[in-house]
């Protein structure tokens, strides 16, 4: 049986090659592993299933069912309608030329000449079953080496699914942490860190395209007095509701951030000052019309254009625009609040 051992050695070498050079997606990697199994076991059909309760989900399929039902990823069968049930129940290998009769629905009308199955575990938990069916007589009998190769292939596939699942979870966690790091937890708006990062990207883009934009600083009038009178819990509610009201009147590509305390920064890309003033007036009017608080609240707004003059240091231009908007905000407050003041350039 030296040829069997040689074949097993070639199989293991094939696994190593797939690991080193397989496609970037899990589906591509498992497809290559199943095709390797089809060649090794001289089989016609390869299946990877995910089993939940009594439901058999086809996750991956390679080869042909040779006249039986057309099988594809996403199909569901009752576990009892498949050949996988004994393997799933026992969590042991199954290798046989004798297929139990009557055939289950998944193989109805066929005459399999051989069947190999192995349980698949993902993160050490039963996941599903790896199956190979042979429909044509073959000179190669099923034997011990097939069991070793089948066990190894099953473990390899389980490892690939585990690794991909862990990478997916890690990406989700990293994405959530990044969102938390860049989001103000109270209002759900961008925080200062995200704000400056966004403004630098935007300023670099506008510099290359020779365009302009406007920055507005928005401050809730008499907010400290509101907090002292009604409590910080009511103050937090007010901040959330005003943030929501402001976002409601903005376009998708406008950018609103919590600048600090009761102050917000609004970035209006590629907008002239006249358009920015119209947007800010909608914000001022929207906040003034809110009736959900114990008393009326309003906002004062200072607006300035972002003049891009420092190609190598756009942060300097951003700081200058924010300072100009802040100066206009001071003027708006001195003028009686609940109003807008602006400057063209700075």
Alpha-carbon distance of 245 to 251, in angstroms, equals: 13
For residue 221, what are its two tokens?
């009038």
Q: Which of 262, 263, 270, 344 is catalytic?
A: 262
Catalytic-residue membership of 344:
no
**CB–CB of 213/306 below 8 Å?**
yes
List phi, psi (to 5°) of 307: -90, 115
3-state secondary structure the chain: CHHHHHHHHHHHHHHHHHHHHCCCCHHHHHHHHHHHHHHHCCCCEEEEEEEECCEEEEEEEEECCCCCCCCCCCCEEEHHHCCCHHHHHHCCCEEECCCCCCCCHHHCCCCCCEEEEEEEEECCEEEEEEEEEECCCCCCCCCHHHHHHHHHHHHHHHHHHHHHHHHHHHHHHHHHHHHHHHECCCCCCECHHHHHHHHHHHHHHHHHHCCCEEEEEEEECCHHHHHHHHCHHHHHHHHHHHHHHHHHCCCCCCEEEEEECCEEEEEEECCCHHHHHHHHHHHHHHHHCCCCCCCCCCEEEEEEEECCCCCCCHHHHHHHHHHHHHHHHHHHHHCCCCCEEEECCC
Strands 299-306 and 213-220: antiparallel
Buried b or exposed e, range 292-311, using 16+ CB within 10 angstroms: eeeeebbbbbbbbbbebeee
User: How far is the C-alpha of 75 from the C-alpha of 71, rounded, in Å?
Assistant: 7
Record the tokens describing residue 80, joined without a space: 């009892």
The residues that are catalytic are 262
């Amino acid at each position: 049986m030296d040829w069997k051992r040689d074949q097993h050695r070639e199989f293991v070498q094939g696994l190593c090659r797939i690991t080193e050079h397989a496609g970037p997606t899990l589906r591509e990697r498992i497809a290559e592993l199943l095709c390797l199994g089809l060649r090794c076991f001289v089989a016609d059909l390869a299946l990877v299933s995910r089993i939940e309760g009594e439901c058999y989900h086809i996750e991956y399929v390679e080869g042909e069912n040779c006249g039986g039902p057309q099988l594809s990823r996403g199909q569901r069968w009752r576990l009892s309608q498949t050949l996988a049930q004994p393997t799933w129940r026992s969590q042991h290998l199954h290798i046989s030329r004798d297929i139990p009769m009557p055939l289950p629905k998944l193989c109805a009308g066929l005459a399999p000449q051989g069947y190999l199955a192995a349980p698949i575990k993902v993160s050490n938990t039963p996941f599903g079953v790896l199956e190979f069916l042979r429909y044509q007589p073959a000179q190669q009998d099923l034997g011990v080496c097939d069991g070793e190769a089948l066990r190894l292939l099953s473990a390899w596939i389980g490892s690939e699914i585990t690794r991909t699942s862990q990478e997916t979870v890690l990406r989700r966690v990293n994405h959530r942490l990044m969102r938390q790091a860049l989001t103000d937890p109270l209002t759900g708006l961008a925080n200062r860190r995200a704000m400056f990062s966004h403004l630098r990207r935007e300023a670099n883009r506008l510099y290359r395209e020779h365009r302009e934009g406007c920055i507005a600083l928005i401050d809730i009038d008499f907010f400290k007095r509101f907090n002292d009178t009604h409590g910080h819990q009511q103050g937090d509610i007010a901040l959330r509701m005003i943030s929501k009201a402001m976002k409601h009147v903005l376009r998708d590509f406008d950018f609103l951030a919590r600048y600090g305390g009761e102050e917000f920064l609004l970035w209006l890309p590629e907008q002239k000052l006249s358009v920015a003033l119209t947007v800010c007036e909608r914000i001022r009017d929207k906040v003034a019309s809110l009736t959900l608080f114990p008393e009326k609240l309003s906002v004062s707004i200072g607006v300035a254009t972002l003049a891009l003059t420092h190609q190598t240091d756009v942060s300097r231009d951003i700081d200058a625009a924010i300072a100009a908007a802040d100066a206009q905000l001071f003027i708006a407050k001195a003028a009686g609040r609940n109003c807008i003041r602006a400057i063209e350039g700075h």
